[in-house]
Amino acid sequence: MAKDLKKEAKKRIFDAAVSLFARKGYAAVGIREIAKKADVNICMINYYYGGKVGILREIINECYEKYYRAITHVDINDIPLEQCVRAIIKNLVAFFRENTESALVAFNALSFDIPEIVDLKTRWTVEYREKVNKFFSQIGLDTSDATQMNFVHGLLTTIVESHFTRRFFYEHIIGTGTLAKSREANVLPEPALDYDDAFYENFTEMLTNFYMHGVTGIATKKHEKMSGEQVCIEK
């Protein structure tokens, strides 16, 4: 019984911090605000997490673990390439749907005055580099082409993340009094969307098509360019 309550205080701190960090950013949120929202004494933050930065560390670790599991939890050897891309996108979308706030916190937590956090995020990136590169070579990209790799690196994640960032933004300013009522009516870029399963199936399909065609376009152009250069040499 008491053990359950213990875990609850720690979890409440975590959840409160995720919510507040997502809305205001890490630096703008103080431990007193977190403690109040979590209904604990502020010393609990040092007790359970070693301090404010400890919360962020755990948010990032939890989030990155889920994220990398999502993008690597696809057996890319047994299914056609397009299905592989679709599966990854589907996992990505599911990841962001289930962890919207903590993902926003973790992915945006980049401040050069917290070396520990810079270091931590770099470690995660380096650790998964090989798996990510394997995926790229499988879809036909030239992993030795530095520009191409620079271009596609993290592209799917970026696109999905920006979608959820925008959705979060709209959902948290509409109806909260942050905007004047007269402006709220104008702020939606399109009719209000119902972000249900059907929407995200559709979204996944759209992104899969977009990405597959896009990447094919890059690979095709590169091939044509090389052919063109041979023609020039022969002339």
Is residue 22 within 8 Å of residue 29, measured between CB atoms?
no
Build a one-symbol-per-residue string for 27-56: x at contacts with DNA by CB under 7 A, - elsewhere: --xxxxx------xxxxxxxx---xxx---
Residue 189 gets which letter from DSSP?
Answer: S
Touching a second copy, residues 21-40 (CB under 8 A): 23-28
Member of 41, 46, 138, 178 binding a second copy (CB under 8 A)? 178
111 binds, among DNA, a second copy, none (CB under 5 to 8 A by kind): a second copy
> Could you tell me the CA-to-CA distances from 144 to 57, 147, 190 in Å, in that order?
34, 9, 41
Member of 110, 137, 228, 229 binding a second copy (CB under 8 A)? 110
Residue 192 gets which letter from DSSP?
Answer: P
Is residue 93 within 8 Å of residue 204, measured between CB atoms?
yes
214 is an interface residue for DNA by CB under 7 A? no
Distance CA 150, CA 20 (A): 33
Distance CA 229, CA 25 (A): 50
Residue 135 Cβ vs DNA, minimum distance, rounded to whole Å: 38
> Could you tell me the CA-to-CA distances from 169 to 21, 59, 78, 139 in Å, in that order?
13, 20, 39, 33
Residue numbers of the site for a second copy (CB under 8 A)?
23-28, 108, 110-113, 115, 118-119, 122-123, 125-126, 129, 146-151, 153-155, 158-159, 162-163, 166, 169, 172-173, 176, 178-180, 183, 186-187, 189-191, 193, 199, 202-203, 205-207, 209-218, 220-221
Residue numbers of the site for DNA (CB under 7 A)?
1-3, 5-6, 9-10, 29-33, 40-47, 51-53
